[in-house]
Structures are given as structure tokens and as C-alpha cells.
Copies of this chain bind each other. A is one copy, B any other.
Amino acid sequence: MNPLAGLRVIECASFVAAPSACMTLAQLGAEVIRVDPIGGAADYRRWPVAPTGTSLYWTALNRGKRSVAVNMRSDEGRELVAALVAEAGIFVDNAVGRRWLSYENLSARRADLIHLHLQGRADGTPAVDYTVNAEVGVPTITGREYDAAPVNHVLPAWDLLTGMTVTTGVLAALHERAKTGKGAYIELALADVAAAGVANLGWLGEAQLRGAERPKHGNHVYGSFGIDFETSDGQRVMVVALTEGQWHALRKVTGTEEVFSALEPALDVDLNQEADRYRVRETIAAILRPWFAARPLAEVSKDLDSARVLWGRYRGMPEVAASPSGVLSTVDQPGIGEVPSARSPLRWDGTYGGTATAPSLGEDTDHVLASVLGLPAAEITRLHDGGVVA
């Protein structure tokens, strides 16, 4: 349940990607120490925020970590951070242009250091989820068929994906270090994660072969059959038929088997082929729509489940938040109160791991300076008095 117990990781980063990565390492048992400037980094007040002003975003992304606050503009502060990195041996950062935090400087103090440096673009210039998403072409094919302008995603998908790529890189380097004794300097750019992401789905190959943009296809699932339907009580469900079995289940439960059997020769399609289901998706949707429109959600839900149709219901987040279970639970977060929170989705031996709250800024400064660097109490007091730590 705590496979990474015994590891110590120093994080000097902000926003989503690196913090979510290091939170994942903490959930798997590592001791993660997030180092922030005194007063917090640029993400410390990021929306959404609670009425108290405490950031729901920051507290959600930094659960289970220790927090150390250091004046990183002072030489003494920098020395403390470098000493923590050398002691821990694993370091994740997304700093731009901080030479004192470079691998060259840090590995001089610890030869087998694993340093993962996160970037916007691989050339070191800044980029964020919303700019790289535009650059790789996803907004251009997202949204309604009639909407010519690009539609941005709301979910910072590339940030989250980059976070789990960070953990993958760190743990791969750890495997190698255990075998060879050698550390690693690993760089990872958000823009590269996004470009590789669309390439890995075959979408760049498609764009090249087509020589033109894929037309927008609204809420349809590309290359198969899947679309949303409204029920008689104004609820909405997403119904998908990727496999032949799922397609037959959907026909059967909606009583449309004969309709589709008659349709196939008329349209010269074989609806057992998902490519053909995609080609005539609007016709299929139009034939199925009245079945959904005639039934309330409760009946639709019962019927689709009994028939083993692949489907999901559109829920609003207030509803998701109202019934935390399984991977979701609640924690009593200082500054906020009882708030929905997630465990790690990775279950060891059928069991979810624990929950945790986020630290307050600098909560662990004294403890970390004493336990990791062995500083005496008088020295820690001196550092506080000099404004080096908080």
C-alpha cells in the first residue's frame, strides 16, 4: 500500500503538473517536501477558492506533502534548498532560469541525484496547458459541427497527463539508480507531452494523409457509434457502441433490430462494422432518439443496464461532490472545512489508500530543517529572525 515508503522527494514547483506528480508520489508512500517562497508561489491563491480565501486548487493538489517556506532570493535560503535536495536525492522542479537550481550545481553535491525538470516548451520558453492545446490542434476539432471557431477544453488535460509522465520518469530513473548507482537528469516539456499525445492516437498520421482538418463531429465518438440522448425528464445519457456486442445490445433494448436490418441494404452499410456506424451516425441517432425521449431516466437506466449497454449519465459536479465514495472521500481541510477529496486511484490488493490534507504554508519548515538537515533549534530561530525561512 506504501510501495514508495522510505523515499524522500523535494518539489520546487507550482500549478498542476509537477504538484500533482509529487502528490501521487506522496500517496504511494514517499515523503514529499514542497518548498515554496515565503508567502507562497504563483499558484497559492489560484481559483477555485473557498469563501475564506483559501485556494481549493492549491489544497487539493498538495495533499499529504510537507511544506517548507524559504526566501529563495537569499544566498542562505538557496543553500538550504540545495542541501535539502542533496539529502533527499530526488528533485522535481519547474523553475525557469534559476542557475542555482540547475542539475549541474545540484549534482555536484550529490552525484546520484535524480532531477526531473519540467518545462513549458523543450527550448525552455514558457507555455501552459491552454497554449499548447491550441498549438497541437485539439480545439479546432472540438465542439459543435456548426461552430467554426475553436473550442478550448476546460479540463487541463495536458497538465494532468504531464504530471503522471513526471512520476513515470522519476520512477524509471529510480529503477536504474537501484541497478547501476547512477542518477539522472530528465527534462520534460508540457508542449512535448501534448504533441506526443495527439501523435500516439494516430491523429497526426490521419491529418497528414487526409491533407485537411478532420471535420468537427460534435458529441459523437469518432470512428464508431456514441452520442448523447435526452430522456423524457430532461436528463442526458452518453451511449456508446464500440463493439458488435454493445451495438446488438443497444438495438435490442430499443426495439430497433428490424429497423436497422432494413436500413443496412437501403444505405448499403454493414452496421456490425464500427466504421459504418460512424458514417451513418446521424441516422442511427435519429432512429434511437425517440426511445430515450419517451422514457424517464430511471427507466432508461434500468433498461440499459439489464441489456448490458455501454452508457454513462451526464452529472453535474455538485452531484458528484455530494456523494463521495470509493476513490472519493472527504477531508477536514484547515482553512476550508469538510471538502470532497480523492485517494489514489491505484488500489493495492483491492484497497484504496488513505486520505490526507494539505499543509499550511511553511507548516513543516522547522521540522524539516531539524530532521532532514539536523539543524539545532537556535540555528532555526536565527533563520526565522533573518527572514530566511518562515
Q: Which residues of A contact B (CB under 8 A)?
A: 3-4, 6-7, 16, 20, 23-24, 28, 42, 45-51, 55-61, 122, 126-128, 130-144, 147, 149-157, 160-161, 164-165, 167-169, 171-176, 178-179, 184-189, 192-193, 195-214, 217-219, 221-224, 226, 228, 236-238, 240, 242-243, 274-275, 278, 310-322, 324, 326-328, 336, 339-350
Contact = CB atoms under 8 A, between A and B. Distances in A.
Chain A interface main SS type: mixed
Contacts of A224: 46-47
B320 A198 contact: yes
B314 A139 contact: yes
Contacts of A137: 314-317, 319-320
A189 to B, nearest CB: 7
A193 B161 CA distance: 11
A340 B208 contact: yes
Contacts of A342: 195-196, 199-200
Q: Please give me the 8 A-B residue pairs with the lowest Cβ-Cβ distance, nearest first.
A: A47-B223, A131-B312, A164-B164, A56-B202, A157-B157, A207-B317, A171-B171, A48-B206
B154 A142 contact: yes
B3 A349 contact: no
A8 to B, nearest CB: 14
Contacts of A321: 204-205, 207-208
A273 to B, nearest CB: 8
Contact of A155 (B132, B164, B197, B208): B197
21 contacts: A3-B175, A16-B201, A20-B200, A50-B205, A61-B200, A131-B240, A131-B311, A133-B238, A133-B312, A139-B314, A140-B315, A141-B317, A165-B346, A167-B171, A168-B346, A192-B345, A195-B327, A204-B328, A204-B341, A205-B341, A208-B340
Contact of A207 (B130, B167, B195, B316): B316
B196 A48 contact: no
Contacts of A48: 202-203, 205-206, 214, 222-223
Most buried by B among A179, A218, A242: A242
A263 B216 CA distance: 39
Given A152-B228, A164-B165, A242-B128, A320 B204 contact: yes
